[in-house]
Structure 1
């Protein structure tokens, strides 16, 4: 039987009222702690912790483990998982990853160290990483892209303390976040390389990268696979202790400089814009964690009248929104850019259109 117009209106009103009541109820009953685990269904914006059960057993058995998912209403939005690695001298690593089920930008806040505290007030035995958060910013252009987040190192004594306990990793998720290009972000990136430096000093290289020319580069497999999911996949598919990369010596040296130190190697004969372009090509090829953020920080600092047009091209070709906004502001405040040779020879209609739209906002 067909519904009358008034019936449709009434039906919609009831739906709206029910949705409003549900939202009010959820707001009033928002949990103090919202755990992400396979046992709970958690909303992304409400998540407070990643919940890892039997952490002591999993850390002492190298494998891949699921943590659980976070949702935006009924749609899956994130899936968190981790791998465990046992190192000599009783060091146990937990490598944390996330799969973004949608596309877009997001930010994750997680503890920047492995220091733990025990929750004696809880009715369950819980051990929580201390809540000194560092923020990491991500951009996924396709659904189901996977990202490395951070590695936590534990000692044998830590494993004893975790026995029969649930490990909680504090977490905060922000959706559709722009990358804040500032010194705080840079310090956060640098901090993450402390563990890399520590491992590289203690352990001998156990793996070899081979360039296009055949030059061999001794490396640490653990460090390499944690920083680059692309190289990690190649290493897992290879049964030998070396892999061949279709990359020249110069690019591999830039790659290893960043992976081991968190710094970017300057190349003689390259302008900063050209260096940025080359670094971004390496990032696109190997998906090195945090490299795109550091490249943007590097390029933002050296924008000038003569390279502004090249910077716009780089930003738009690689969808670097923060760099693009910064360059557009620079051009708007420095109209002499429009008199440069680069501007006069510009034949990219998308760049001109985007700049025109920005200038009129």
Structure 2
């Protein structure tokens, strides 16, 4: 990333459109920062690259620099990963929007529309031990971008608090979702401090803090023992999938994976995000021949979004009720749910 200081005077015009604006065009004091401005945002989201946003200052000294990475994923979704570089040292917090719903608005004095994120905030705590450390803040997921003006500027609401009163400690990992890609740590096995052993006794070098941050099951197992290794009753393949998800936040070639296996892993280790990813993939594969099986899976793992989707599919495709799977369905409770749903759709 280009962390050079923009050739702009620190004397900002404090008018309605530029005051508190963090961008590569305007100079903004850290205490005034209220919004990150991503120009040509839709182009950046579709380009899948790295982009600078801009920085803030403490008087005349650079203090923070914000940048993003963008990528596309399954289902025409576009991800925006937000990062910050702290030019100094010490603790700080970043507050930003906790949602990804976009609203397009045009201000009277603006040439291009703005895409606004909700002004309901989540707070993220950090501590830098040396200057120019980079930190991941959060990931926004956007879809259906074609409905917006393609020259829009994305406005990300933000608040920066330097040296907050509360102090970071080891419990911070419980409140910070580590969604950025740490696959390098997994492949290089650098500074590992914990070993997971599969059912075949194959050993996997890991990092205790990541296991605890992502899986409440592993966290409890680690917390209730003083050992530096654990034996887990899963196959080598399942262990590799588990660690891939913990370290990268996704599963490579997820469309080619056995989704039932992924759901079993998510259930065994209580990985909420893996449940969300897998039911999203399954939801795009519903057909007349597998709809009943999908309904059974949704009920078994309590996947509400998938259940609504498959019930809606069955209601709109009555041929499902002519399949062998429907005739063989013995789950009375599920059958009742299906009939109630299809009746409500008709009413």
TM-score by length of 1: 0.49
Q: List aligned pairs for 1:177-326, cutoff 5 A.
A: 177-179=164-166, 189=176, 192=177, 223=179, 225=181, 228=182, 231=183, 234=184, 243-246=187-190, 247=192, 248-250=194-196, 252=206, 254=208, 257-258=211-212, 260-261=214-215, 265-267=219-221
Q: Closer, same or farther in 2 for the Cα pair 1:159/1:72, shift >3 Å?
A: farther
Match of 1:172 in 2: 159
Work out whether residues 77 and 102 of structure 1, in 8 Å CA contact, stay in contact via their aligned partners in 2: yes
Give ranges in structure 2 of 5+ residues lacking alignment: 1-10, 197-204, 229-245, 250-347
Q: Closer, same or farther in 2 for the Cα pair 1:181/1:256, shift >3 Å?
A: closer
Work out whether residues 103 and 143 of structure 1, in 8 Å CA contact, stay in contact via their aligned partners in 2: yes
Q: Which runs of 4+ in 1 moved over 6 A?
A: 286-289
Residue 163 of structure 1, CA deviation: 1.5
Match of 1:217 in 2: none
Residue 122 of structure 1, CA deviation: 3.8
Q: Closer, same or farther in 2 for the Cα pair 1:181/1:78, shift >3 Å?
A: closer
- Mapped partners of 1:107, 1:171: distance in 2: 10
Q: Give 3-state SS (helix, strand or coil) of 2:219's partner.
A: coil
Q: Give 3-state SS (helix, strand or coil) of 1:249's partner.
A: strand
Q: Which digits, 9 at most, give the CA deviation of each residue in 1:123-177, with x for residues without a partner?
A: 321111110100111111100011000000011x135425111000001011111
- Mapped partners of 2:44, 2:135: distance in 1: 21
Task: Tell me if 1:54 matches 2:31.
Answer: no
- Mapped partners of 1:262, 1:69: distance in 2: 37
Match of 2:100 in 1: 114
- Mapped partners of 1:268, 1:36: distance in 2: 42
Q: Closer, same or farther in 2 for the Cα pair 1:256/1:35, shift >3 Å?
A: same
Task: Tell me if 1:135 matches 2:135.
Answer: no
Root-mean-square deviation (CA), in Å? 3.8
- Larger helix proportion, structure 1 or 2? 1
Residue 187 of structure 1, CA deviation: 8.6
- Mapped partners of 1:178, 1:288: distance in 2: 32
Of the three residues 158, 161, 182, the one matched with 2:145 is: 158
Of the three residues 58, 67, 71, the one matched with 2:57 is: 71
Give ranges in structure 1 of 5+ residues lacking alignment: 1-24, 194-222, 236-241, 276-285, 290-361
Work out whether residues 126 and 168 of structure 2, in 8 Å CA contact, stay in contact via their aligned partners in 1: no
Match of 1:94 in 2: 80
Work out whether residues 87 and 132 of structure 2, in 8 Å CA contact, stay in contact via their aligned partners in 1: yes
Q: Closer, same or farther in 2 for the Cα pair 1:188/1:30, shift >3 Å?
A: farther
Q: Give 3-state SS (helix, strand or coil) of 2:24's partner.
A: coil
- Mapped partners of 2:216, 2:42: distance in 1: 30
Q: Give 3-state SS (helix, strand or coil) of 1:142's partner.
A: coil
TM-score by length of 2: 0.51
Work out whether residues 136 and 180 of structure 2, in 8 Å CA contact, stay in contact via their aligned partners in 1: no
